[in-house]
Amino acid sequence: MKKNLMGFVVLSMVLLAVFFTGSAAWALKNVCPDCNFLQEDMELTACPNCGKIINKCLICGTVNPIKNDNCSECSASLAESRVMRTIDKDVREHLRLGESDRAKIEVELGQIKDKVEKGELTPELASREVELLTKMDWWSKANLKAIEFATKFPEATQTALVKKCRVKSLRQLGFLAMEDDEYAIANEYLKTALELEPNDKKTANLLKISQNELKKE
Ligand SMILES: [Zn+2]
Ligand SMILES: [Zn+2]
């Protein structure tokens, strides 16, 4: 815990230092992070002024043309790599930046988003997205994506997995609504979850409590 706190302090200092010394351009793709040279030829991979490689993917190591927002090899967001590369490699390794579970999930979600934008949505990708959103506790988004999945891929083999994620998301949304004393809304979420999974005891219990509260109002 102490180590984490130290890491956080160091990271905050690094970010503050970058913020105050450089202009906001430090993470822009068309400005060289070493010499601040403004890049005009976006097809290049290196700064013509100092030779620095501008757009290297930190996930897979591919060197991309400056114009790329996502890695041509693995679809990871390159903006993140550009920010990371302004932080010293030793500091980065010491802090294990980008290696937390949540950071990894965010990278994967970015990769999926890029593929979807290119029109490459498959049941595998769509179900994985729902799974990852659920892992991130983004219940509302997970629920919406699960509905979308069921509409787009009604026969897919991942249907059971997506349903499981949706039931969990709906139960959490119901619970959050109950915490806000929004029992009518909670009932809707919980009822939908039970329609999908009638044997879900946790949801059934929550619904019972929520319905009782609603009667008191
Ligand atoms: Zn340069
Ligand atoms: Zn890559």
pLDDT in tens, 100-137: 888 889 999 999 999 999 999 999 999 999 999 999 99
Q: Does domain 139-216 have CATH number 1.25.40?
A: yes
- How much distance in Å is there from the Cα of 38 to the middle of ligand 1? 8
Q: Taking the model in full, what pTM does it have? A: 0.70
- How much distance in Å is there from the Cα of 155 to the middle of ligand 2? 32
Q: In tens digits, what is the pLDDT along the chain, a chain of 217 residues?
A: 455 555 555 556 555 554 444 444 445 678 888 888 888 899 999 899 998 888 888 888 899 999 999 999 999 988 878 777 777 777 877 777 777 888 889 999 999 999 999 999 999 999 999 999 999 999 999 999 999 999 999 999 999 999 999 999 999 999 999 999 999 999 999 999 999 999 999 999 999 999 999 998 7
- Burial class of residue 52 in the structure, from the number of CB atoms within 10 Å of its CB (0-12 exposed, 13-18 middle, 19+ buried): middle
- How much distance in Å is there from the Cα of 8 to the middle of ligand 1? 30
- How much distance in Å is there from the Cα of 22 to the middle of ligand 1? 14
Q: Where are the domains of the chain?
A: 2-95, 139-216
CA angle 160, 103, 148 (to 5 degrees): 30
Which residue shows structure tokens 């929550």? 206
Protein residues with C-beta less than 5 angstroms from the ion ligand 1: 32, 34-35, 37, 47, 49-50, 52
Phi, psi of 46 (to 5 degrees): -125, 155
- How much distance in Å is there from the Cα of 98 to the middle of ligand 2? 14
- How much distance in Å is there from the Cα of 62 to the middle of ligand 1? 19
